[in-house]
Amino acid sequence: MQEDISTTHSSVINQIIALLDQYGRINSREFAVVTSSRIYIRDKDRVPRNKDNLKVYIERNNIAEVHIGKFNYFKNQEESNSFILGYSMKELVFDIDLTDIDYDKIYDLQGSNKLVIRKCCYGKKFCSKCWIHIKANVLILEYFMSQLGIDKKDMLWVFSGSKGVHLIINSKKSMLLNDLQRKNIYNMIEMFGDPTKTIEMANKLIGFPSKIMNEHIMDIYLILEKIIQHIVNKKGLRFLNRDSSFMGVLNSICLGYPDQILEIIEKSYSEKNQWNFMKQSFNVIAYTDKPNPLILSMFRYFYPILDKNVTLCMSHLIKCPFSINTNSGCLSLPLTRDQIMDMDDRYLIKCESLKGPWNHLTQEQNVIINNSINIMNLWLKK
């Protein structure tokens, strides 16, 4: 048992080093380490740039997080000393976080009042109710990745160890995307976040086929609808009203009288038919070039708010999978897309630092970590 635990611990550090060294050139990768007391060290003279020395350094110091950046390749030695880059490459990364919907970012349909989307939890905390937002975000990101022709095997979903998720893509094409291409991908996803603006924009572009926009909006709507329909079929509209942020959706579409209108709906329809009633009321099927309030609300509540710099900037560093989140003290874990969707407390695994050994871990936690190692190995194509 003791042996198992120290093996798990050592394998985790090996995984971090394998990602830094993905192309056998760890020395070309920009990276930094963060101690468990949150001291950030990027200085090349202090953190070894050699695989074996780095492993020893992590094992001996109170390192909690490793942050990874781009690979820099130079044409010749002179350039490497004079800041003239030959070429850079980096994984394509997306960052979604529940705290992005905590703060005053989203307005109601009239654009006058800020919406409080998360009512059940705040900050670091999350529960199955607010995690619905991450679920919806994951499905929408997956939709756009398939539109971009990105293979699922190149996508690594990483639970941050707190209340967010990273999607890291390492296909050959993604690694070689330049700044402008990354910006285009970000803009495309952002553009569809507000259907009214999307349609307005399409109409302003001379000769632009707004039919394409409508098709994307409908695709995304259908993804979101599946999640909501599933919840309502099981628990009824009242569940959304009482326990989740979906109250805001009801509020805006019930013209400020959600309680009264909900009561009428509950008396007249079974759980299974309550969602169909909502859809029919808002004539979703007949949607043409003007999105109805139900569609608009669903986008407002469930569309991903991406951390722009993470996706755009080549120079931006991201927390490496298997880092220990210094906010929560929990291990960041690569998981399957389905595990991310069904997130629960089992995946909150507390570890002080990467130094180990992690004697306090249970058998189940060791199994989870080893499963994460396997997921990452497959993704690294080892």
Tokens of 143: 């939709």
Residues 6+ apart with CB under 8 A from 301: 106, 115, 117, 133, 245, 246, 248, 249
How far apart are CB 121 and Zn ion at their closest, in Å?
3
Q: Among residues 68 and 247, whose Cβ is nearest to Zn ion? A: 247
Asked if 247 is part of the footprint of Zn ion (rule: CB under 5 A), the reply reads no
Residue type, 252: S
Judged by CB under 5 A, how many residues of this single chain contact Zn ion? Answer: 5
Q: Among residues 41 and 120, whose Cβ is nearest to Zn ion? A: 120
Q: Among residues 161 and 356, whose Cβ is nearest to Zn ion? A: 161
Q: Which secondary-structure segment (H or E) carries 52?
A: helix 51-60
Q: 3-state DSSP call for residue 157? A: strand
Binding residue (CB under 5 A) for Zn ion from 130, 138, 296, 331 = 130
How far apart are CB 240 and Zn ion at their closest, in Å?
13
Binding residue (CB under 5 A) for Zn ion from 120, 148, 199, 227 = 120
How far apart are CB 245 and Zn ion at their closest, in Å?
9
Q: Which secondary-structure segment (H or E) carries 73?
A: strand 63-73
The span of 89-97, 119-127, 133-141, 277-285 binding Zn ion (CB under 5 A) equals 119-127
Asked if 133 is part of the footprint of Zn ion (rule: CB under 5 A), the reply reads no
* CA–CA dist 201, 208 (Å, integer): 9
Q: Among residues 66 and 130, whose Cβ is nearest to Zn ion? A: 130
The CB density around residue 7, as the number of other CB atoms within 10 Å, is 13
For residue 195, the 8-state DSSP code is: H
Vertex 185 angle, CA 112 and 169, to 5°: 120
Asked if 116 is part of the footprint of Zn ion (rule: CB under 5 A), the reply reads no
- CA–chain centroid gap for 125, Å, is 16
Q: Among residues 71 and 126, whose Cβ is nearest to Zn ion? A: 126
Q: Which residues pair with 158 in a beta bridge?
A: 166, 334
Q: How far is CA 51 from CA 30, 54, 65, 100, 241, in A?
A: 14, 5, 16, 36, 53
Asked if 199 is part of the footprint of Zn ion (rule: CB under 5 A), the reply reads no
How far apart are CB 134 and Zn ion at their closest, in Å?
11
The span of 45-53, 129-137, 343-351, 365-373 binding Zn ion (CB under 5 A) equals 129-137
Cβ atoms of 41 and 13 within 8 Å: the answer is: no
Q: Among residues 18 and 127, whose Cβ is nearest to Zn ion? A: 127
Q: Among residues 122 and 287, whose Cβ is nearest to Zn ion? A: 122
Asked if 129 is part of the footprint of Zn ion (rule: CB under 5 A), the reply reads yes
The span of 120-128, 251-259, 291-299, 312-320 binding Zn ion (CB under 5 A) equals 120-128
Of the candidates 282, 240, 259, 379, the residue with the CA atom closest to the CA atom of residue 322: 379
Q: Among residues 116 and 121, whose Cβ is nearest to Zn ion? A: 121
Asked if 314 is part of the footprint of Zn ion (rule: CB under 5 A), the reply reads no
How far apart are CB 130 and Zn ion at their closest, in Å?
3
Asked if 17 is part of the footprint of Zn ion (rule: CB under 5 A), the reply reads no
Of the candidates 16, 144, 85, the residue with the CA atom closest to the CA atom of residue 314: 85
Vertex 255 angle, CA 302 and 133, to 5°: 10
Cβ atoms of 125 and 163 within 8 Å: the answer is: yes
Within residues 330-359, the interface with Zn ion by CB under 5 A covers none
Asked if 319 is part of the footprint of Zn ion (rule: CB under 5 A), the reply reads no
Asked if 121 is part of the footprint of Zn ion (rule: CB under 5 A), the reply reads yes
Q: Among residues 129 and 216, whose Cβ is nearest to Zn ion? A: 129
How far apart are CB 366 and Zn ion at their closest, in Å?
28
- CA–chain centroid gap for 92, Å, is 12
329 φ/ψ sector (left φ>0, alpha ψ -120 to 50, else beta): left
How far apart are CB 120 and Zn ion at their closest, in Å?
3
Asked if 109 is part of the footprint of Zn ion (rule: CB under 5 A), the reply reads no
How far apart are CB 345 and Zn ion at their closest, in Å?
12
Asked if 216 is part of the footprint of Zn ion (rule: CB under 5 A), the reply reads no
Of the candidates 138, 130, 344, the residue with the CA atom closest to the CA atom of residue 240: 130
List interacting residues with Zn ion (CB under 5 A).
Answer: 120-121, 127, 129-130
